[in-house]
Amino acid sequence: MQTDESKKSTPRPLTSTMEDYLEAIVNLENEKKAVRVKDIAKRLGVRMPTVTSMLKTLRKAGLVNYEKYEYIQLTNRGKKVGKEIDRRHHALKKFLRDILGIDPDTADEEACLNRFVEFMGFIESCPRAGKQWLEYFQEYRQHGRNKATCLEYMRSFEELFKKQLEAAEMETEIENGA
């Protein structure tokens, strides 16, 4: 199989579709010894000619080694990029599941986006921290922004933060022999 890594052109930004293909190839390589066009087509729910067309694009970008009727291999750069895309994808899924409370199996993309927009509104309009932070987010989602409630939570956090600050200062003084 010819190596196209030496034929790199100036890197262009990847489209989301290109990222999907790279991530699929990384995952398929982890599952199988050899990745074929039909494996990618099945994974992504597209037709084989569509895969072949994208593989040519990825080859021109120096991300895959591919010749017609051969197995697909990621170049070193393709592996690096594909693994990073996969890592980001898992981090986003974890955020959506653990922080925003979205069931990744049933939430559609728009629902995820809506929840994320709500979360950003929550952070911007009613900042707070502490262990109850996510509980406050759920309350914010159910009832919207309430200035009085936000102020109450901020004061509560301020008191907690002051206590933690004082304890840390005392600990530092003890360590420094003051």
Q: Is residue 96 part of a domain?
A: no
Taking 80 as the threshold, does the pLDDT of residue 148 lie above it?
Answer: yes
Q: The domain spanning residue 49 has which CATH number?
A: 1.10.10.10
Q: Is residue 97 part of a domain?
A: no
Q: Is residue 48 part of a domain?
A: yes
Instruction: Name the residue with higher pLDDT: 54 or 114.
Output: 54
pLDDT at 6: 43
Task: Please answer whether residues 22 and 59 qualify as being in contact, where contact means their C-beta atoms are separated by less than 8 angstroms.
Answer: no
- Give the rounded percent of residues in the chain with a pLDDT score beyond 70: 79
What is the residue range of 157's domain? 102-175
Please tell me the number of Cα atoms within 13 Å of 19 on its side-chain side: 11
Q: Is residue 112 part of a domain?
A: yes
pLDDT at 130: 57
Instruction: Name the residue with higher pLDDT: 92 or 59.
Output: 59
Please compute the mean of the pLDDT values over residues 42-65 and round it to a whole number.
94
Please compute the mean of the pLDDT values over residues 152-162 and round it to a whole number.
80
Q: Is residue 93 part of a domain?
A: no
What DSSP letter does each residue of 47-79 carry, written as one string? -HHHHHHHHHHHHHTTSEE--TTS-BEE-HHHH
Does residue 115 share a domain with residue 80?
no
Does residue 28 share a domain with residue 67?
yes
Instruction: Name the residue with higher pLDDT: 10 or 140.
Output: 140
Per-residue confidence band for 113, with pLDDT thresholds at 50, 70 and 90 = low
Does residue 77 share a domain with residue 15?
yes
Does residue 72 share a domain with residue 20?
yes
Taking 80 as the threshold, does the pLDDT of residue 140 lie above it?
Answer: no
pLDDT at 21: 93
pLDDT at 152: 81
Report the candidate in 2, 5, 6 with the shortest Cα–Cα distance to residue 67. 2
Please compute the mean of the pLDDT values over residues 75-89 and round it to a whole number.
90
